[in-house]
Amino acid sequence: MQRSAPRLSRILACAAVPVMLVATGCSSDSGGGAGAGSAQDKASASPSASATPSPTPTVEPAKFAKLPEACKAITEKTTASLVPKAKNKKGTAAASTDLTSRGGCAWNGLDDKGVKGSQYRWLDVSFYRYESDPSLGSGQERARENLAKELAKVQATPGAKKLKTAPATGIGDEATSVAYQVRKTDEDFVYASIVARTGNVLVLLSYNGAGYAGAATPTDKAIMDGAVKAAREAVTAVAAANK
């Protein structure tokens, strides 16, 4: 089939110009212009762009990388004053498979004064460290969340009576004290618990006592003052372990 004269003239004219012009201005016979080429390029590029993985979300780094040695976190002078006749003056360490994440220590003993009765005391401290994790939040946020859970556990102590909860000032970033009594072995045990957070570390401290064989029951104030003193030392030990 013969080409029409006008169409043949256009083909010959294009053949006479430089290659660059043919590519841009004389391709109209194919039905596509420069705009069409750009749209096709964008369409072919879009799948690879959408396949690019999203950046990993970032979280605040954990403040503390270490925990103190639990049995050395409270000074011997303080433990001796709070538990005068401790079975183990250096404390008994809690079992732990990961000392970078959790640790604890306890002291207990009976101060027997013969016919004047006996005084029993128990002191324990626990540390929990939380790492920052993009899927779980920063170590600080995780410690804050678990502080609320641990506080709720203390407040739900079975048999607790005369329970009082109050802020504990001057202990870490935030702290709460819980005072209560529990009747056991026919004696009234007086308890003081401190739930505190310093950075990404939780410090849980409990101190309790009772009088036996006619000895006076320790006062709420004496037990709470002892718990606060020990808790402050434990929180300070966290910072010292990370210097």
Q: What is the three-class DSSP state of 116? A: helix
Output the CA–CA distances (angstroms, integers) from residue 84 to 76, 129, 135, 217, 229, in the order listed. 11, 30, 46, 16, 16
pLDDT of residue 53: 63
Q: What is the three-class DSSP state of 63? A: coil
| Boundaries of every domain in the chain | 5-50, 70-241
Q: Give the residue from 48, 50, 122 showing the smallest Cα distance to 86.
A: 122
Q: Are 217 and 242 in contact (CB under 8 A)?
A: no
Fold entry, domain 70-241: Protein Transport Mog1p; Chain A (3.40.1000)
Q: Read off the DSSP letter of residue 135.
A: T
Output the CA–CA distances (angstroms, integers) from residue 130 to 75, 189, 221, in the order listed. 25, 32, 32
Q: Are 26 and 16 in contact (CB under 8 A)?
A: no
pLDDT of residue 94: 96
pLDDT of residue 16: 41
Dihedral of the alpha carbons of 154, 155, 160, 166, in degrees to the nearest 10:
100
Element (H, E) at 166: strand 161-167
Q: Are 119 and 218 in contact (CB under 8 A)?
A: yes
pLDDT of residue 163: 98
Dihedral of the alpha carbons of 180, 184, 185, 191, in degrees to the nearest 10:
-20
pLDDT of residue 116: 87
**Calpha distance 85→110 (Å, rounded):** 6
Q: Model confidence over 124-146: pLDDT tens digits?
A: 999 999 999 999 999 999 999 99
Q: Give the residue from 190, 194, 181 showing the smallest Cα distance to 223.
A: 190
Show the CA angle centred on residue 67, arms to residues 66 and 70, nearest 5°.
160
pLDDT of residue 83: 98
Pairing of strands 174-184, 92-93: unpaired
**Calpha distance 93→170 (Å, rounded):** 26
pLDDT of residue 101: 96
| pLDDT < 70: residue spans in the chain | 1-56
pLDDT of residue 43: 45
Q: Which residues pair with 178 in a beta bridge?
A: 165, 193
Model confidence, pTM: 0.77
Q: Give the residue from 207, 239, 210, 201 showing the smallest Cα distance to 225.
A: 207
**End-to-end CA distance of the chain, in Å?**
92
Q: Model confidence over 158-190: pLDDT tens digits?
A: 999 999 999 999 999 999 999 999 999 899 999
